[in-house]
């Protein structure tokens, strides 16, 4: 961000907290600013496709909120979230194999707020959190604010390597295990059933809560849904979910599915943060769910994202030079590319932007800063012809650089 020289005076004179001064801006947000220029083919953000937002159905739902709830929809409401939405969420979770009641559900302003509430509730400076390597950058940002430290397990095609998890637990006694078990951001990797069971066993053995951040689980367009960590681990797991990727991120509504006794602490932390999430939007989502609009909408989303993923994979096979490898996710929004070790995806990014194509380089997703040669591509946001063109340009850039 360009800072006005006059404003800089305040930054120097006023005593901001050391937490804030030490914070780094999200690299993705910075790249998005550069890449949102017209004409740039944007594989950078984690943005869902805007043409898929259910704009057609929402006016009816909005009118129904006003008719059915009147002034209540515009009033302050419970920190836990509006009862109708929590009941609807609990019903869906139960139907999908995780017995849940509304008492387990706390509505948050996106999954990002749930991560922040967890950090506030659990983390003292210097505490360890066990993560995948790489992991979701937004979680690192939230945890960094509370001066967490990290111990990370490498991943293969089945998710976290479990032997490493146990070894890291023994070495660092982490307070939390944080995972993105389905179509992980950034790699697109999904944890296998066996690994899920093993991870839960370890969590029970060492009494460490698993935080399963799961924004993409509903967006499976190939293969079979796996039992969630929550359905396997029950009260050992706090599941974080969101409507951002399946309805709209601008609505900022997510939720936690947590053991009841611990949820009361999150409720207090939520009260300090923002009292409650927007009442009207919660009712709006309630109408959308209770009128049976989510499941058909999800089908549309899955068909579209599969088609775009297929175009990206086919284009990569066609245009990427030998020595470049990538993941092939069966759902979610993004995939992961590894360049030959001697190349830096960060150094290549300005050249890619000159060619009017943007990606996010992978290094910031690694708690200890490796992964110079990696990058993340979002296949959902650009139109199929643009995806092919963008991959072609990247292929040329990589081939020239090798
Ligand atoms: C793994 C993960 N967690 C949390 C979030 C934040 O989601 P929300 O928009 O619900 O805050 C994202 C967004 O990209 C994500 O990928």
Point out the domain boundary residue: 261, 292, 323: 292
Dihedrals phi, psi of 336, to nearest 5 degrees: -125, 135
Which residue is closest in CA terms to ligand 1's atom 13? Answer: 46
pLDDT band at 313 (very low <50, low <70, confident <90, very high): very high
Q: Is the CB of 278 under 6 A from ligand 1?
A: no
Q: Ligand 1 mean position to 243 CA, how many Å? A: 10
231 and 356 in a single domain? The answer is no
262 and 386 in a single domain? The answer is no
104 and 243 in a single domain? The answer is yes
Read off the pLDDT of residues 170-196 as tens digits, 9 standing for 90 and up: 999 999 999 999 999 999 999 999 999
Q: Ligand 1 mean position to 213 CA, how many Å? A: 8
Q: Which of 386, 188, 220, 365 is nearest to 303 (CA)?
A: 220
**Residue to mutate, 110, 119, 184, ligand 1, most ligand atoms under 8 Å from C-beta:** 110
For 25-39, 185-199, 260-274, which range has the lowest pLDDT when averaged over its residues? Answer: 25-39
Predicted pLDDT of residue 69: 98
Which residue is closest in CA terms to ligand 1's atom 7? Answer: 111
Q: Is the CB of 45 under 6 A from ligand 1?
A: no
191 and 117 in a single domain? The answer is yes
Read off the pLDDT of residues 45-72 as tens digits, 9 standing for 90 and up: 888 999 999 999 999 999 999 999 999 9
Q: Ligand 1 mean position to 219 CA, how many Å? A: 14
**Residue to mutate, 115, 215, 238, 282, ligand 1, most ligand atoms under 8 Å from C-beta:** 215
Residues with Cβ within 8 Å of 302's Cβ and at least 6 positions away in sequence, in order, are 219, 220, 221, 331
Predicted pLDDT of residue 26: 72
Cβ-contact 57, 285 below 8 angstroms: no
**Residue to mutate, 135, 136, 376, ligand 1, most ligand atoms under 8 Å from C-beta:** 136
Read off the pLDDT of residues 237-249 as tens digits, 9 standing for 90 and up: 999 999 999 999 9
Q: How many domains does the chain have?
A: 2
Q: Ligand 1 mean position to 16 CA, how many Å? A: 27
Q: Is the CB of 73 under 6 A from ligand 1?
A: no
311 and 282 in a single domain? The answer is no
**Rounded Cα–Cα distance for residues 327 and 43 (Å):** 15
287 and 300 in a single domain? The answer is no
Point out the domain boundary residue: 292, 320, 353: 292
- Residue range 219-235: mean pLDDT, rounded: 97
248 and 306 in a single domain? The answer is no
Nearest atom (ligand 1) to Cα of 243: 10
**Rounded Cα–Cα distance for residues 377 and 270 (Å):** 33
Which residue is closest in CA terms to ligand 1's atom 16? Answer: 185
Q: What is the CATH number of the domain that holds 176?
A: 3.40.640.10
CA atoms within 13 A on the CB side of 28: 21
Q: Is the CB of 136 under 6 A from ligand 1?
A: yes
Q: Is the CB of 277 under 6 A from ligand 1?
A: no
Q: Is the CB of 294 under 6 A from ligand 1?
A: no
User: Could you tell me the residue range of the domain that residue 348 belongs to?
Assistant: 5-54+296-401
Point out the domain boundary residue: 259, 292, 325: 292
pLDDT band at 8 (very low <50, low <70, confident <90, very high): low
Q: Is the CB of 79 under 6 A from ligand 1?
A: no
213 and 348 in a single domain? The answer is no
154 and 259 in a single domain? The answer is yes
pLDDT band at 2 (very low <50, low <70, confident <90, very high): low
Residues with Cβ within 8 Å of 386's Cβ and at least 6 positions away in sequence, in order, are 41
**Residue to mutate, 119, 212, 217, 244, ligand 1, most ligand atoms under 8 Å from C-beta:** 244
Q: Ligand 1 mean position to 136 CA, how many Å? A: 8
Q: Ligand 1 mean position to 112 CA, how many Å? A: 6
**Residue to mutate, 108, 185, 240, ligand 1, most ligand atoms under 8 Å from C-beta:** 185
350 and 236 in a single domain? The answer is no
Predicted pLDDT of residue 46: 81
Read off the pLDDT of residues 318-355 as tens digits, 9 standing for 90 and up: 999 999 999 999 999 999 999 999 999 999 999 999 99
17 and 114 in a single domain? The answer is no
CB atoms within 10 A of CB 384: 15
**Rounded Cα–Cα distance for residues 283 and 82 (Å):** 7
3-state secondary structure of 275: coil
Mean pLDDT for all residues in the chain: 94
Q: Ligand 1 mean position to 365 CA, how many Å? A: 14
Q: Is the CB of 180 under 6 A from ligand 1?
A: yes
Predicted pLDDT of residue 3: 58
Q: Is the CB of 254 under 6 A from ligand 1?
A: yes
Q: What is the CATH number of the domain that holds 348?
A: 3.90.1150.10
Per-residue pLDDT at 108 exceeds 70: yes
Nearest atom (ligand 1) to Cα of 180: 1
146 and 286 in a single domain? The answer is yes
């Amino acid at each position: 961000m360009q800072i006005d020289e006059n404003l800089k005076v305040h930054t120097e004179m006023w005593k901001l907290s050391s937490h804030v001064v030490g914070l780094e801006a999200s690299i993705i947000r910075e790249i998005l600013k550069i890449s949102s220029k017209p004409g740039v083919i944007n594989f950078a953000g984690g943005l869902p496709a805007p043409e898929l937002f259910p704009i057609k159905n929402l006016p009816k739902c909005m009118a129904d909120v006003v008719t059915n709830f009147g002034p209540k929809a515009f009033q302050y409401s419970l920190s836990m979230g509006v009862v109708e939405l929590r009941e609807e969420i609990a019903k869906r979770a139960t139907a999908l194999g995780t017995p849940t009641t509304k008492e387990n559900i706390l509505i948050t302003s996106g999954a990002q707020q749930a991560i922040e509430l967890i950090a506030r509730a659990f983390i003292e400076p210097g505490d360890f959190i066990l993560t995948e390597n790489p992991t979701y950058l937004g979680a690192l940002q939230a945890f960094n604010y509370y001066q967490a430290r990290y111990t990370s397990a490498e991943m293969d095609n089945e998710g976290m390597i479990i032997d490493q998890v146990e070894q890291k637990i023994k070495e660092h006694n982490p307070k939390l295990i944080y995972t993105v078990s389905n179509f992980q951001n950034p790699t697109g990797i999904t944890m296998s059933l066996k690994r899920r069971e093993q991870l839960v066993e370890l969590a029970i053995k060492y009494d460490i809560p698993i935080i399963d951040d799961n924004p993409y689980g509903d967006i499976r367009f190939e293969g079979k849904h796996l039992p969630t960590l929550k359905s396997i681990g029950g009260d050992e797991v706090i599941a974080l979910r969101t409507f951002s990727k399946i309805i709209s991120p601008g609505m900022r509504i997510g939720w936690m599915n947590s053991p009841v006794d611990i949820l009361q602490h999150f409720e207090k932390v939520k009260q300090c943060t923002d009292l409650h999430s927007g009442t009207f939007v919660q009712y709006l989502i309630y109408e959308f769910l209770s009128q049976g609009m989510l499941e058909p909408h999800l089908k549309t989303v899955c068909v579209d994202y599969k088609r775009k993923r297929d175009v990206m994979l086919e284009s990569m096979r066609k245009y990427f030079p030998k020595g470049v490898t990538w993941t092939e996710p069966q759902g979610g929004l993004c995939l992961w590319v590894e360049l030959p070790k001697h190349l830096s995806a960060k150094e290549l990014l300005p050249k890619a932007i000159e060619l009017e194509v943007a990606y996010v380089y992978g290094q910031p997703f690694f708690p200890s800063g490796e992964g110079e040669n990696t990058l993340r591509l979002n296949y959902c946001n650009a139109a199929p012809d643009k995806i092919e063109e963008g991959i072609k340009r990247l292929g040329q850039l990589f081939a020239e650089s090798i």
